[in-house]
Amino acid sequence: MNGQIKMLLWLLIAVGLAMGAYIRLAPSDPVRWHVAPEDTERDLKGGVVRVVETGPDGLARLDKIARATPRTSVLAGSLEEGMITYITRTKVFGFPDYTTVQLDGDTLRIYARLRFGRKDFGVNRDRVTQWLALLQP
């Protein structure tokens, strides 16, 4: 019996390590994640959509804020394109969240969502709220 418990424990450890590796190393396909945000502001179970008036330099200003956010990098897009998708990873497990920001005239559309799971416990909403607060003059 003791040998079976040890084997089960090692199996659980191996599965946990494999899942952790997949979460951190799974490729992020820009075709899937670099998509234009919706026009309607709303909260989602695993994310948020926000639409704000920022002026024509809103994307450039938000880009500086996003790039200064810990564990955040650019997946796709550019200022010239008018749309950028960022990946922000959680500190401990490295879960990726995707935030796409698009500038349309003076309007900034932001779509933040999780990749794994069904609920983000408000993490994406809080990050977008913080970014928008820093964006204010």
Tokens of residue 39, six digits = 């026009």
Q: DSSP labels for 94-128?
A: --EEEEEEEEETTEEEEEEEESSSS--TTHHHHHH
Average pLDDT, the chain: 92
What does the alpha-carbon distance between residue 57 and residue 30 come to, in Å, rounded to a whole number? 24
**Whether pLDDT at 29 is above 90:** yes
What does the alpha-carbon distance between residue 125 and residue 112 come to, in Å, rounded to a whole number? 7
**Per-domain boundaries in the chain:** 29-135
Q: Which fold has domain 29-135?
A: TATA-Binding Protein (3.30.310)
Percent of the chain with pLDDT over 90: 66
